Structure 1
Amino acid sequence: MSAPGAGTNNAVTGAARGLSVNRLAAPRVAALLADADALGIAVERLESGVTVVDAGIDVRGSVAAGVLIGEICMGGLGNVRLTTRVEEGWPDWLEVSSAQPVLACLASQYAGWSLAASKEEAGGRKFFSLGSGPARALAGREDLFAELGYRDEAEAGVLVLEVDRRPPPIVIDKVLRDCGLAPERLTLVLTPTTSLAGTTQVVARVLEVAMHKAHELGFALADIVDGHAAAALPAPSPDGGVAMGRTNDAILYGGRVHLKVRGSDEAARALAQRLPSSNSRDYGRSFADIFRDYEYDFYKIDPALFAPAEVWVSNLDSGRSWHAGGLDMGLLRRLWLEA
């Protein structure tokens, strides 16, 4: 459901503004809970009534769980599937697509809701996570939602946290309050990057990374009407820093995106040329090394790096297409494959 009075300049327009990402994600949430044993995940109902899904902290999790969580993150408006492409130089790939990429990626999947608790509030160890998934659109705590012109209204919500421990009660209470949900109507999905599910759901953000970069470049989001993407899926690492580096490298060097847009050829061509990660001064090294060299400060990294490696942009108004960038599978094989 959209915000009252949203103007025509908003990125979400027309019938899409009446779509509820939480309601559309609900069948996938139900499938995740129903198939918990088969997916290698654990489901817990807290005393408060909140449902917590452990997708890799105290259980093994699975790639299949990560695929489903990826679709949950996209608010039921995206498809994620595992494919095999040994001929590309790596066996496992994820393909992601959406006919509503603005809603699926930016109003839902984007990890933009900052949730934190001090050491005292969290019982001895401070807590921080960026919330992603449909419940973001219930809370609307980010400035992005005003630009999108979208807010959801639903009786139940789901939020995904990329964490290696359960959130403290003060954080859960904030989510409930900001989303306006009764405890029994909230599901929290916990996906450490060191797990199969965690690595998978992060790499499934390859289309979202392109959408966010297009937004940062100033491209009119309402003119992006369809998107398809793919990225190499690495094995997770038990080391958190290495795992995080691999998921970023998968997109920066092994991600490709095809966006279908409307508008001028000039804007479409510029988007294709400016979007790939190779435009960054930091391009060409493992993300873990880049992050270390910048003293583990994300804000010191060149923002142009956060993009897929290879991009196609097709203008539906003119029928013309442009291509820029390219995969660097040699780098990924050196980083991921033992000699």
Structure 2
Amino acid sequence: MEIDGEIKKKKVFESLGSGPARALSRVEKDLYEELGYKDDADCAILVFETTKLPNEEVMELIAKKCGVSPSNTYACCAPTACLCGSIQVASRIVETGIHKLHELHFPLDVIKYGFGTTTIAPIAKDDLKAMGVTNDSLIATGSVYYTIEADKEKQEELWELIKKAPSNTSSSYGKPFIETFKEVDYKFYDIDPGLFAPALYTVNNSKTGKTISAGDINNDLLKLSYGLF
């Protein structure tokens, strides 16, 4: 908005957002260009981790960013500290695993199939604690399986990258996420990004028939996070 002849930003809504609208808006332009992916859907859908509904101004901005009509723009809202919040974080396990591989410069085009499992975190009493237990579900017990197609000559190089992918390779690994978060004064980006990965990777190369497994399921860490004794 304009104040005394100057354009100033006004915060009207704040929330983490995920969903197919991100692909339409192409906020991560370089990533989509690298992947060679373009979405041409005529509707936009976002899931916000919040109890507050976005107002008309926010929805119009999302529609504009996505190049669709406001009438075809939809938002689902749920706080992290609810059943939907726990489920939507758990459902990202395959994506989380691929994101870590991408950070390690693993060639994503060799990945043909993937599936994963993890625990659905118990509902926490507030969103901060919910952030802790939902992240620990992935970090401590998340398991992913990918089928790749890679030449034999490239396999060992890819295996070495897989070994670096699990959460337990991170310098921030070993305690409940909420404790790690507190130690960095709740500055999310001060946490080693390598922590945000599944606990266990299993990768099968269909071209060679070879399979590698890296990482470990840490039930003790999960119990500590969940408060199970």
Give me the TM-score of the superposition, normalised by structure 2.
0.89
Alignment correspondent of 1:187: 74
Residue of structure 1 aligned with 2:174, choices 258, 262, 284:
284
Question: Structure 1, residues 81-113: CA drift from partner, whole Å, max 9, x if none?
Answer: xxxxxxxxxxxxxxxxxxxxxxxxxxxxxxxxx
Q: Is the 8 A contact 2:176 2:224 kept in 1?
A: no
Q: In structure 2, how many angstroms separate the alpha carbons of the residues matched to 1:185 and 1:238?
A: 34
Paired with 1:215 and 1:277, the residues of 2 have a C-alpha distance of: 14
Query: 1:121/1:257 Cα in 2 relative to 1: closer, same or farther (>3 Å)?
Result: closer
Q: 1:223, 1:141 → 2: CA distance? A: 25
Matches within 5 A, 1:316-335: 316-335=206-225
With over 3 angstroms needed to count, the CA separation of the structure-2 counterparts of 1:121 and 1:278, relative to structure 1, is closer
Amino acid at match of 1:129: S
Give the superposition deviation at 1:302.
Answer: 1.0
C-alpha separation between the residues in 2 aligned to 1:291 and 1:215?
Answer: 24
Match of 1:160 in 2: 47
1:130 corresponds, among 16, 27, 30, to 16
Deviations 1:228-260 (A, max 9, x none): 111011211121111010000000001011111
2:26 corresponds to: 140
Percent identity between matched residues is 37
Q: Which residue of 1 aligns with 2:4?
A: none
2:56 corresponds in structure 1 to: 169
Task: Give the equivalent residue in structure 2 for 1:242.
Answer: 129
Amino acid at match of 1:299: Y
Could you list the per-position Cα deviations for residues 176-216 of structure 1 after superposition, in whole angstroms to 9, with x for gaps in the alignment?
A: 10112112211111121011111111111111110100100
Quote the residue 1:229 is aligned against. Answer: 116
Counterpart CA distance in 1 for 2:199 and 2:47 is: 26
CA RMSD across the alignment = 1.7
SS in 1 for 2:38: coil
Distance verdict in 2 for CA 1:318–1:338, change over 3 Å: closer
Distance 2:109 2:56 in 1: 38
Structure 2: distance between partners of 1:121 and 1:279: 38
Q: Displacement of 1:223 after TM fit?
A: 0.9
Q: CA deviation at 1:270?
A: 1.6
The CA distance in 2 between the partners of 1:200 and 1:207, in whole Å, is 14
Which structure 2 segments of 5+ residues have no match?
1-7
How far apart, CA to CA, are the structure 1 residues paired with 2:213 and 2:195?
Answer: 18
Q: Number of residues paired by the alignment?
A: 218
Q: Separation in 1 of the partners of 2:70 and 2:194?
A: 40
Question: TM-score under structure 1 normalisation?
Answer: 0.61
Distance 1:147 1:170 in 2: 32
Distance in 2 between the 1:147 and 1:238 partners?
A: 40
Q: Determine if contact 2:59/2:73 at 8 Å carries over to the other structure.
A: no
Which amino acid in 2 is paired with 1:321? T
Asked if the contact 1:268–1:313 (Cα under 8 Å) also holds between the matched residues in 2, the reply is: no
The CA deviation at 1:162 is: 1.5
Contact 1:261 1:268 in 2 (8 A): no
CA distance, structure 2, for counterparts of residue 139 and residue 265 of structure 1: 35
Partners in 2 of 1:200 and 1:327 — Cα distance?
19
- Secondary structure of the corresponding residue to residue 304 of structure 1: helix
- Among candidates 188, 192, 209, match of residue 302 of structure 1: 192
1:268, distance to aligned residue in structure 2 (A):
2.9
Give the deviation of 1:171 after TM superposition. Answer: 2.3
CA contact (8 A) 2:204 2:212 kept: yes
Q: 2:156 aligns with which of 253, 266, 270?
A: 266
Q: Report if aligned partners of 1:260, 1:316 keep a CA contact under 8 Å in 2.
A: yes
Looking at structure 2, the residues matched to 252 and 211 of structure 1 have their Cα atoms a distance apart, in angstroms, of 14
Q: Secondary structure at the match of 1:228?
A: strand
Please tell me whether the aligned partners of residues 160 and 189 of structure 1 are also in contact (alpha carbons under 8 angstroms): yes
